[in-house]
Structure 1
């Protein structure tokens, strides 16, 4: 059985961010692909589980699958954007998502059931590798739950379940015998949220370029920047969200950064500056769009920051750049 190598690429990136050498993990595989990011590259299910098991052995974390799911959000945004180009309703989008998972991750069986009270997506893997399966399925549930929320134009109550759920899990998790995500069925026929302002076809490649440029120097601060870009949706995440990806308390997380003479606020400010510099060169983005992408509540607040960073207003810099 073959699995799309891109699924493992994201896992390897997370492991590297957590301090596990990529070469070590790839070296354990029997037949690693030449390019994990290739659109048609695959790995054997044996190699996939070898990597998952080794990461699990080294990190030994109860919520590893959830942390992986949050970290994979950037890749999931790219997928959901492509799906949204084909779909007009959330029901259609979930249908395409099911086709994608069945084709690229055939070890996972995804089934949807709908009643008057609930719509439920149940995930199963039929082998005996319980620990690795827990990581894989809780990872997928985290990604699917977040993407359903992003697709919807209104607030949703989304519940995820796992047989291993404990009091240490996030509030939206419950303990049942199944791995599932459930939500109100009324949204299935609802149209997808208009995400045109995000211009994800431009934004995601730019984020990925930034990630690659940061990998040359894997200080803790740069690892935090990489995690923040992966967690973007598209606005950048808060301190607590990023700290949890590293399995650190906010206080310990801030202390690690202070040891490198930087704060989380400075990191986010620096990322906003870099992203602004990239996006201002795309005429498709208005100043309001860039402010929205960066998480500013008002364009005026973004313009104020932009002037501080570059010494002039964004429209003036854009006119000077393109004339």
Structure 2
């Protein structure tokens, strides 16, 4: 919190400079007026303004070049100018080009997460690409959002559009945010359908998969006690059959038997198309889930079902024993 006192020349002239960074003080006569003092002794009047959920610092002037009374009088004008609607830029910009600007200015993600976001935008928001940002209406946004399957991704895309148009307003590409008053997408929590009975049916359905590689990958979702992203990216070099471990984590007995029966060709345990590993075999999994009588079952549901029942142990051998006991109990 900023130090508060009545600004006067004697106090401001004798304010000490911080050793590093800057300090902030606040005027009691005009509480919206603040001053920050840098480590070099530079003193600047400013006001804070919150717009679209973001705090901004509006500089009024430097002290002592600007008098205290002049700074107090300038507060109202500075805030009024900040609240005034911005004129849209004369040069129009399409939504597709604007997305590139938004990604550069506002998105801070690692490369893999950034690529995933770009794929989602290209898949779900392509209907807006050819429109000028300033011409996009609420109905245009509603049509795009309503065309997205799944309430979870629909809600995320609506939040993303909200952020994009807020930035467009700040940058002057749009006068208003067309979805400011759009109700949020109602999301219901999905009930995970796997039970002990359906688990038994799932194992029988996996056993009937014709492809050895796919069948082994699906069985490892059960025996490996790990999410699908880690199972499918498993590499032979990470496996130690002398100690029955995978990246220092214990392997269940069923996992060891399964892996030792697979041909050790190439880098990946579960090879995919080209030189990569298996990523997301949705079509094959849907067939397995349908055969098991749980059509809305996802691959990660299997791991979560097992991890909820697994008794954790810090000792590797104790954890392996708990894995084996749980699998024996489920498949009895």
Asked if TM exceeds 0.5, the reply is no
The TM-score, its normalising length taken from structure 1, stands at 0.20
Q: More helix per residue: 1 or 2?
A: 1
The TM-score, its normalising length taken from structure 2, stands at 0.19
Q: Larger Cα Rg: Structure 1 or Structure 2?
A: 2
